[in-house]
Amino acid sequence: MTRRCRGQRHWVPVERRTPIDVSIVAKRVPSFPIVSRVDVSAVETWRQTLKAQGLRIGWNALLAHAYGKVSQAIPELRDVYVARPVAYVYRHPEPIASLTIHRKDAKGTERLIWARIASPHAISLQDLQSKIDHFATAPIQEVFTDGLRLERRIALLRRLNWYLLMRWCGRKRAKHLGTFSLSSLGHLGALNLHHPIVTATSLAMGPISNDGYCDLALICDHRVIDGVLACRSQQLLMDTIRNTMINSRSS
């Protein structure tokens, strides 16, 4: 009689704990996506021209910088919904970007980390790109200290930490998780439209087609953002990116 081949069970890797925790708590965020087809041909040509001159400015840096300015102009984008002990909306004084970065750790294991950058609109594009590169290349113990500390805790303590962070204190939620996030797979030819969010809004950019167009998604927490305001935010974002390009050319 032939013995059936059975699969194997193993413990959840430590580096998967944070993505799992985020997925669990994000279920309580009633989010919706707004997707626009935008023309980025002029901006992409400008980026490639800078690259040829030895200055690399990635789309994450451009989006974080411009959306920081948009968040200053539209303060609702800095709102955080807090459910306990009495429901209220907290507005953070500055935008804080949270960037999802896929990289390898010291052991060569591929994993995600989250980079927080306060007031990205007040940082030059070159310095902002340098910060992002630092998160992508520096030792994880240096750039993801808080996250690693949380990952090492047992599940009960981690879930309690996330519960308090998401539902009890708006200031700490904005400070530790950001007021907006960036998570794009456009460089891999995909648009991750339905990724979980723990911020008021999250940006995702799809691949750029041959005619210079791409899909730009803005995922919003419906408790603080409505569709009309989300559309205005997207339009202002693209205008801000184009103005950044024009100002850079003239300087």
In a domain, 2, yes or no: no
- 79's tokens: 């709102």
Residue 32 β-bridge partners: 220
Q: State the Cα–Cα distance between residues 204 and 182, nearest whole angstrom.
A: 6
* pLDDT attached to residue 48: 93
Q: Is the pLDDT of residue 251 over 70?
A: no
In a domain, 17, yes or no: no
CATH value at residue 123:
3.30.559.10
In a domain, 61, yes or no: yes
Query: pLDDT tens-digit profile of 179-207?
Result: 999 998 988 999 998 889 999 999 999 99
Residue 117 β-bridge partners: 97
In a domain, 38, yes or no: yes
> 44: number of CA atoms within 13 Å, CB side?
13
Domain that holds residue 113: 24-250
Q: State the Cα–Cα distance between residues 75 and 225, nearest whole angstrom.
A: 11
Query: pLDDT tens-digit profile of 3-18?
Result: 777 888 888 889 999 9
Task: Please give the DSSP secondary-structure letter assigned to residue 178.
Answer: -
Q: State the Cα–Cα distance between residues 17 and 113, nearest whole angstrom.
A: 11
Query: pLDDT tens-digit profile of 104-160?
Result: 988 889 999 999 999 999 999 999 999 999 999 999 999 999 999 999 999 999 999
Q: State the Cα–Cα distance between residues 227 and 193, nearest whole angstrom.
A: 16
In a domain, 149, yes or no: yes
Q: State the Cα–Cα distance between residues 175 and 170, nearest whole angstrom.
A: 8
In a domain, 157, yes or no: yes
Domain count of the fold of the chain: 1
In a domain, 56, yes or no: yes
Query: pLDDT tens-digit profile of 206-247?
Result: 999 999 999 999 999 999 999 999 999 999 999 999 998 888
Q: Which of 16, 37, 9 is nearest to 155 (CA)?
A: 16
Q: Which of 57, 28, 59 is nearest to 203 (CA)?
A: 59
* pLDDT attached to residue 127: 96
**When comparing pLDDT for 247 and 35, which is higher?**
35
Q: How confident is the model at residue 1 (pLDDT cuts 50, 70, 90)?
A: low
Q: Which of 25, 31, 21 is nearest to 167 (CA)?
A: 25
What is the pTM for the complete model shown?
Answer: 0.92
In a domain, 15, yes or no: no
Query: pLDDT tens-digit profile of 41-83?
Result: 999 999 999 999 999 999 999 999 999 999 999 999 999 999 8
* pLDDT attached to residue 8: 85
* pLDDT attached to residue 240: 95
